[in-house]
A and B are shown apart, each in its own frame.
Chain A
Amino acid sequence: MAKQTPLYATHVRLGGKMVDFAGWDMPLHYGSQVEEHHHVRRDAGMFDVSHMLALDLDGAGAHDLLHKLIANNVDKLTVPGRALYSCMLNPQGGVIDDLIVYFFRPDFYRIVVNAGTADKDLAWISQHAGNVSVKPRRDLAMIAVQGPNARAKAWVALPGSQAASAELKPFHAAWFGDALIARTGYTGEDGFELMIPAERAEATWDALLAAGVEPAGLGARDTLRLEAGMSLYGQDIDEQTSPLEAGLAWTVDLAAPRNFIGKSVLAARRPEKQTFGLLLEDRGVLRAHQKVRTAQGEGEITSGSFSPTMNRSIALARLPAGVAAGDTVEVEIRDKRLKAMVVKPPFVRNGKVLV
């Protein structure tokens, strides 16, 4: 029996096509994934992301625990509510998960991890936690409201929330009563991620709906994040992937003297691969695991789909060192070899095509 979020009945009521995702019964779309995608790029859409897990780290050692556990440096977080994207690595330098950590006090952080890795993450973090309390917050629902009009519509839906969140810069969060409003997301658009008590999830969703925010499913979430050049755990990154080869070097802090799990391996090994975007020049659709032929050797697509914003196929691909943006490569699709151009992601941000 698949797990259900506090919004399961709401999705069914709205005609969501429910599918299994990492053991959760989630909406793939509510009619048209492409329309939902456009709605987020052009106006405002919302996603139920309650399948992801919030973990509260509470205790005097919380800062030191994160120093050890994640590849990005929580010392960058000095203002309460500040958020940071990071990988959590295994001792071999592979990615256990990618996550967002919110700082409130040196002895209190919240991290949000992927649904499919939540159990593994909880076990791993608890194993290293010492006296720090690690509390899974399954009592919370999470709704991502995304798009150029997302914030304005959220303020209409949640009276009083504007005062609490109008001044938030990207990657900052603020409390609004017992809800957390974070200016974060996974679409390349402006917006909020709301963490609210589960019992208020449906009322909040319906208020957003009444304010003109359209429901969007996992299908649109995937094409939006791909256009935004963001990694999907289990597809673009996994325990065998080095973040330095996955386009995530900007999230790995090798410079500071602190020692984090996986650091010594990353520091000692020269990356042999790199991650780029591909733009298909011919008709067709790029998909994960298709082989890419380059002048420097073979590579592989890690995520590929059709980009509704660009009306052509795009992909993220792991390619040999030496390949550069602007190169033309060949992708094997069934019995054909189709031409694609190597580009630097993101493809789309804030409604604009960048490549």
Chain B
Amino acid sequence: MNIPADLKYAQSHEWARLADDGLVTVGISDHAQEALGDIVYLELPQVGRKVKAGEECAVVESVKAASDIYAPIAGEVVAVNQAAADAPESVNQDAYAAWLFRLKPDNAADLDKLLDADAYAKVAAED
């Protein structure tokens, strides 16, 4: 299972990466893309939308099923990955490159409440 050590994870299988510019990039884990199977559609949030931690804000649809994506922390959506929406299979190919949206966090320290790679590995293993 591919779980990069430098990322934070939500129980609901999103990853989050804090960049130097203070923005948090969000995607779904490799485990999540594998469980979903062939991804064929991404519904991404509106830029400018304010989201709470744990709020539904995107949908990833595979051939098999639709899966809600939750904001791992509170903040404002400042960008969405249109390239991924145009080629949803890119999430299957590399779930950590094909990010879904970027958040300007209300409080970057909220990231500390998320799981580290070791803790997420246990969650994924039990899934």
Q: Give me the interface of A with B, judged by CB distance under 8 Å.
A: 28-29, 32-34, 219, 223, 283-285, 287, 305-306, 308, 313, 334
Contacts and interface: CB of A to CB of B under 8 A. Distances in A.
B41 A284 contact: yes
Interface stretch (B3-11, B58-66, B71-79, B115-123): B58-66
A308 B37 CA distance: 13
Interface in B4-49: 37-38, 40-41, 43
A285 B37 contact: no
A28 B34 CA distance: 12
A285 B38 contact: no
Nearest to B68: A334
A305 B41 CA distance: 11
A283 B41 CA distance: 7
B69 to A, nearest CB: 13
Contacts of B63: 33-34, 219, 223, 305-306, 308
A32 B38 contact: yes
Given A33-B64, A308-B63, A284 B43 contact: yes
Contact of B59 (A33, A305, A306, A334): A334
Contacts of B61: 284-285, 306
B1 to A, nearest CB: 14
B38 A34 contact: yes
Given A306-B41, A334-B43, 12 more contacts: A28-B64, A33-B38, A33-B63, A33-B64, A34-B38, A219-B63, A285-B40, A306-B38, A306-B40, A306-B63, A308-B38, A313-B41
Contacts of B59: 334
Among B41, B63, B64, B66, find the residue whose CB has the most chain A CB atoms closer than 10 A: B63
Contacts of B38: 32-34, 306, 308
A170 to B, nearest CB: 28
Contacts of B43: 284, 334
Contacts of A334: 43, 59
A34 B93 CA distance: 14
B40 A219 contact: no
Nearest to B38: A34
Contacts of A313: 40-41
Contact of B37 (A219, A283, A284, A287): A219
A332 to B, nearest CB: 13
Interface string B88-112: 0000000000000000000000000
Contacts of A28: 37, 64
- Closest 9 pairs between A and B when the two form their complex, measured CB to CB: A306-B40, A34-B38, A285-B61, A306-B63, A285-B41, A33-B38, A33-B63, A33-B37, A32-B38
A285 B66 CA distance: 8
Contacts of A285: 40-41, 61, 66
A308 B40 CA distance: 9
Contacts of A33: 37-38, 63-64
Contacts of A308: 38, 63
A133 B42 CA distance: 54
A284 B66 CA distance: 10
